């Protein structure tokens, strides 16, 4: 192979321009759109499902913790970064979800990286649903072991992969609520399959925690798997709790193992005290207002039903997330931009973040959406739909 002449320092990143041109040609350009603090947009794109991010009890707890403990955690969890707030948050999360123990990470992404890598390794096969979140996919890659990515929601295929694995141990990895269409994994069935084959089950409940199950205890709790000795759950504190950070919930020995071996826990500055305090306060609100989660699901179902009645191709939501199919990546981007011009912010999922390659508007709902918000959303989204979006 010919090695090209060495580029000059000015040319070293020329390849990035070529890559950007290719993305633009495929309709995959992204841009940052900073929002103002007092934006009046109707938000159907964020993850603040319970409307707690700006709740005074939650934001006030964050402000008080920053003044008391400082702006940052000052170090990793095993050095100076563990405060009494982190310990209290872990205790309360575990208790609420019915797990033996919990470990708080700086994000849901690092929680997933840590859980997958620390619970697999060379002696363990990983069997995952094909549509798992990118943070789990990256965890699978970093595990440097055999990974079988199985067709979406096919427990029989997972069973086959477990039965034919070449490694003594196995870890089955799934989302509870899938990020793009908001559909639900068959957790009880997956657990049965895991038990038949001596495998552990790792569930990312990022979109289920705070929305599904008794009082928002999550999809794992709803499936009767809370406290199970062979099930580990990851959550994020940045969606229903309106804060920041992530956590792993599971058997005490799993949590201890993660605290001592998960590299994304050990070599990462701990979650800021303000975020830990915000998550604790939000958990308190969730406990005192157990009707909030149900409102989220009701709003999602209402929005999807009305969009479908308007002739669009809409997923059937099980939690806060739903999607509307677009004819192409370019038309999805333009559609989302037209909605934004009319004051409705929607998400836009395109390759590579959609595993089946179908571009979509991605919508999320909140507990505090009003009837008039839903009417506005349906009017704006359906009237600005591109040709070919109708079913």
Alpha-carbon distance of 208 to 229, in angstroms, equals: 20
Q: What SS3 class is residue 115?
A: helix
Task: Tell me the sheet residues that pair with 236.
Answer: 246
Q: Does 51 bind ligand PLP (CB under 6 A)?
A: no
Torsion angle of the four alpha carbons 128, 132, 135, 138, in this order, in degrees rounded to the nearest 10: 40
> Is residue 364 part of the contact set for ligand PLP (CB under 6 A)?
no
Select 191 or 264, whichever has its Cβ closest to ligand PLP: 264
Helix, strand or coil for residue 325? strand
Residue with Cβ nearer ligand PLP (50 or 206):
206
Write the interaction track for ligand PLP spanning residues 118-157; mark x where CB under 6 A is met and - where it is not: ---------------x-x----------------------
DSSP H or E run through 234: strand 231-236
* Site stretch for ligand PLP (CB under 6 A), options 31-39, 190-198, 200-208, 329-337: 200-208
Among 108, 213, 216, 355, binds ligand PLP (CB under 6 A): 108
Asked if residue 261 lies in contact with residue 119, where contact means CB atoms within 8 angstroms, the answer is: no
Single out the residue of 48, 55, 90, 175 in contact with ligand PLP (rule: CB under 6 A): 175
- 325: CB partners within 8 A, 6+ apart: 312, 313, 314, 358, 359, 360, 389
- Give me the DSSP letters along 63-123: HHHHHHH-SS--SBIIIII--HHHHHHHHHHHHHHT-SEEEEESSHHHHHHHHHHHT-STT
Closer CB to ligand PLP, residue 98 or residue 108? 108
Contact between 90 and ligand PLP by CB under 6 A: the answer reads no
Nearer to ligand PLP, 246 or 355 (CB): 246
With beta carbons less than 8 A apart as the criterion, state whether 243 and 282 touch: yes
Interaction between residue 114 and ligand PLP (CB under 6 A): no
Phi, psi of 185 (to 5 degrees): -75, 145
DSSP state of 79: I
Nearest to 43 by CA among 389, 376, 385: 376
Judged by CB under 6 A, the residue of 117, 238, 240, 299 near ligand PLP is 238
Least distance to ligand PLP from the beta carbon of 275, Å? Answer: 10
Considering only the stretches 33-41, 49-57, 73-81, 204-212, report the one whose residues sit in contact with ligand PLP under the rule CB under 6 A: 204-212
389 CB burial (10 A radius; 0-12, 13-18, 19+): buried
CA gap 175, 179 in Å, rounded: 8
Residue 323 binds ligand PLP (CB under 6 A): no
256-315 residues near ligand PLP, rule: CB under 6 A: none
For the chain, how far is it from start to end, CA to CA, in angstroms?
50
- Is position 174 an interface residue for ligand PLP (rule: CB under 6 A)? no
Q: How far apart are CA 135 and CA 117, in angstroms?
A: 11
Select from 82, 83, 112, 120 the one that contacts ligand PLP (CB under 6 A). 112
Of 51, 246, 273, 347, the one binding ligand PLP by CB under 6 A: 246
Q: Which of 50, 53, 206, 307 binds ligand PLP (CB under 6 A)?
A: 206
Residue 109 sits in the site that holds ligand PLP (CB under 6 A): yes
Using CB positions, name the residue nearest to ligand PLP.
Answer: 108
- Interface pick for ligand PLP out of 129, 204, 268, 373 (rule CB under 6 A): 204
**Least spacing, CB of residue 109 vs ligand PLP, in Å:** 4
**Contact between 179 and ligand PLP per CB under 6 A:** yes
Please, are residues 262 and 115 in contact by the beta-carbon 8 Å criterion?
A: yes
What residues does 200 pair with on adjacent strands? 171
Query: Is position 349 an interface residue for ligand PLP (rule: CB under 6 A)?
Result: no
Residues in the site for ligand PLP, rule: CB under 6 A?
A: 107-109, 112, 133, 135, 175, 179, 204, 206-207, 236, 238, 246
């Amino acid at each position: 192979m010919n090695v090209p002449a060495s580029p000059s320092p000015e040319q070293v990143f020329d390849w990035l321009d070529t890559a950007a041109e290719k993305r633009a040609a495929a309709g995959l350009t992204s841009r940052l759109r900073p929002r103002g603090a007092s934006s009046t947009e109707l938000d159907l794109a964020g993850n603040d499902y319970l409307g707690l991010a700006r709740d005074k009890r939650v934001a006030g707890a964050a402000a008080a913790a920053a003044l008391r403990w400082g702006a940052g955690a000052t170090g990793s969890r095993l050095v100076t970064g563990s405060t009494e707030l982190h310990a209290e948050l872990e205790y309360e999360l575990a208790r609420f979800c019915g797990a033996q123990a919990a470990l708080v990470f700086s994000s849901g992404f690092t929680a997933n990286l840590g859980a997958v890598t620390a619970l697999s390794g060379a002696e363990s096969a990983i069997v995952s649903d094909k549509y798992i979140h990118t943070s789990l996919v990256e965890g699978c890659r970093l595990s440097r072991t055999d990974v079988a990515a199985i067709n979406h929601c096919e427990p029989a295929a997972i069973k086959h992969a477990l039965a034919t694995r070449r490694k003594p141990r196995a870890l089955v990895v799934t989302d509870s609520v899938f990020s793009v269409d908001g559909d639900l994994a068959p957790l009880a069935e997956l657990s049965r399959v895991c038990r038949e084959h001596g495998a552990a089950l790792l569930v990312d409940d990022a979109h289920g925690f705070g929305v599904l199950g008794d009082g928002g205890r999550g999809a794992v709790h709803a499936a009767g798997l809370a406290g199970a000795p062979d099930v580990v759950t990851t959550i994020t504190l940045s969606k229903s709790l309106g804060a920041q950070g992530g956590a792993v919930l599971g058997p005490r020995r799993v949590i201890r193992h993660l605290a001592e071996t998960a590299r994304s826990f050990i070599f990462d500055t701990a979650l800021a005290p303000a975020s830990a305090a915000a998550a604790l306060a939000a958990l308190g609100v969730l406990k005192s207002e157990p009707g909030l989660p149900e409102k989220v699901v009701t709003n999602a179902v209402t929005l999807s039903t009305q969009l479908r009645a308007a002739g669009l191709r809409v997923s059937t939501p099980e939690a806060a997330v739903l999607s509307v199919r677009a004819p192409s990546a370019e038309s999805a981007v333009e559609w989302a931009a037209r909605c934004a011009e009319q004051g409705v912010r929607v998400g836009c999922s395109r390759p590579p973040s959609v595993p089946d390659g179908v571009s979509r508007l991605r919508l999320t709902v909140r507990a505090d959406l009003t009837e008039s918000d839903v009417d506005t959303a349906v009017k704006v989204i359906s009237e600005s739909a591109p040709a070919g979006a109708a079913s």
